[in-house]
Chains A and B, each alone.
Chain A
Amino acid sequence: MLDGALGIWTVVVFVFLYLPIGVLVAYSFNSSKLNILWESFTLDWYVQLWSNAPILRTLKNSLIVATGTTAVSVVIGTTGAWLLHRYRYKFSRSLQTLICIPMMMPEIVMGISLLIFFTAVSLPLGYVSVMIAHVTFCFPFVLVAVQARLQGLDPALEEAALDLGATPLKAFWLVIVPCLRPAILSGGLMAFTLSMDELIISYFTTSPASATLPLKVFGMAKVGLNPMLNALSAVFIVTTIILVLFSEYLRRLGTRPAQAA
């Protein structure tokens, strides 16, 4: 009986979670400018969205920043995870704590401290500053994802490669990296999504010219309802669903026993 009640409650909560975004997606196809009654089906808002220069410009900025952030985060996160796994540094434990700080720190504190820092070293706000900020909170997620995968890795793999005459660098690149591929990919996906969605830290570390899409959406949503924003939200929601399904697929690949590719 208790199980049944919990089941009903879970369904209610899922309805609460999905109804608003479902309504948003549905109304992005509504020809009425107001969000009240259904008039008729239209793709007009998507067409308008596609020809809206300011939105496209901020989308381009977001894609540039997210791609750069992901590339740097994957490199720093993967090598960092491997080195911390492979070697015992004197300060390994404190370093691990330090890595967790950007993940847990309130975003607004990180935003203002980086704004002050960039101003103090007179780095003008723009693509570089916002990318530095994004990498700082994204790479720990890659690192933790790769670390989790490394824990299930057979140490004999690297030893065998070394015994067969590979240099440590070759062993890492040819044996370890292929084994870590699912974790690297899903960590990278996480970094990309986090960077695409980030609002608060970008708010403090970017300039109008390099403003990202969430900043534009924030500005538009403040003004009020806009059917184009419904369409944009629907695109965001569908993209997120695809990314989540893809990373779930990667996770399933990753839980299989590690094999050298």
Chain B
Amino acid sequence: MQTIGLPGTAAPHARKPGLWGWLLLAPMVLWLLLFVVVPTGILAVYSFCQRDDLGRVVFSFTWDNYVRVFDPIYLNILGRSVAYAGLTTIICVAVGYPVGWYIARRPAGLRNLLLLLVMIPFWTSFLIRTYAWIAILKNEGLLNGLLLSAGAITAPLELLYTPVAVVIGLVYAYLPFMILPVYGSAEKVDNALVEAAHDLGAGPVRAFSEVIIPLTLPGIAAGVLLVFVPAIGMFAITDLMGGARVPMIGNVIQNQFFKARNWPFGAALGVVFTLMFVFTYLAVQWHGRRSQR
């Protein structure tokens, strides 16, 4: 769904734009400036503002919002969000990588069928897919029902609203976002390279770690970006699967805008989150470039 690295821009035969070329492009450029660049700028400005007792924003400069981000309470939540997102990403790589690789090595017909089977959950609303897990894990849900009627347990197990439920929900939502990019880069790996590694005496482990992994690293990197960053800020899944018991940074931000009505602090959290996103992106890009050498 998303691509890192930019697709080629102009065609080789592209010309210099005339007046019309500029005029026709203007709406898109304006749209991006007005609804992406300017709002991000205002977000940054708000993060240095204060609020009055009624929750209105007062434009006087302060560092307070950022100081508050480093309050142990919020630092804790931030750390927990990163830990959950990190765990989700690791599980997605471990579970999804073999699938992406396997699909890429199939003959064309089977490959397209399997790919289609990944596309369906990929495009199905994550909300619906999370709800499916609520139906399974809830106290009066399917799993408890089955266990009770089988006599394995006497009282329903507390499955939903636990950290495990949150991680299941996140992994279930983001797994297709890992499989597809891994597939994308595994498909480009030349079989001859893998065979050459075997012919030169590399065992399966060595061929995997020294040939296959480096060649599919761009796919893993893209998958990590697609899973890790969204998972940090995801408040809907943590709300539904974790109740209010496992608040994440996304829940705190959402709270600042609707319940606590402290927009400047919410904006500061948003800016910190954006910076984390930018650093992750740059780190992944940098790592990718270094490993290609």
Contact = CB atoms under 8 A, between A and B. Distances in A.
B286 interface: no
Given A84-B9, A86-B14, A104-B281, A79 B40 contact: no
A10 interface: yes
A259 interface: no
A144 interface: yes
B117 A14 contact: yes
Interface stretch (A44-52, A146-154, A177-185): A146-154
A241 interface: yes
B227 interface: no
A209 B151 CA distance: 48
B48 interface: no
Contacts of B239: 222
B17 A24 contact: no
Given A98-B36, A104-B225, A197 B127 contact: yes
B119 interface: yes
A136 B125 contact: no
Nearest to B20: A168
B154 to A, nearest CB: 15
Nearest to B249: A108
A106 B32 contact: no
B141 A36 contact: yes
B16 A87 contact: yes
Nearest to A169: B20
A240 B129 CA distance: 12
Contacts of B136: 20, 23, 35
Interface stretch (B61-69, B72-80, B94-102, B213-221): B94-102
B109 interface: no
A116 B32 contact: no
A256 interface: no
A99 interface: yes
A76 B31 contact: yes
A199 B240 CA distance: 13
Nearest to A108: B233
B196 interface: no
Interface of B: 1-4, 6-11, 13-17, 20-21, 24-25, 27-29, 31-32, 35-40, 42-43, 46, 95-96, 98-99, 101-103, 105, 112, 114, 116-121, 123-136, 138, 140-142, 144-146, 148-149, 172, 175-176, 179, 204, 225, 229-230, 232-236, 239-240, 250, 253-254, 257, 263, 266-267, 270, 273-274, 277, 281
In order of increasing CB-CB distance, the 7 nearest A-B pairs are A36-B145, A87-B17, A117-B39, A20-B132, A113-B39, A197-B125, A113-B43
Given A10-B114, A17-B121, A147-B7, 9 more contacts: A10-B102, A21-B121, A24-B128, A83-B25, A84-B25, A95-B29, A104-B4, A112-B253, A139-B28
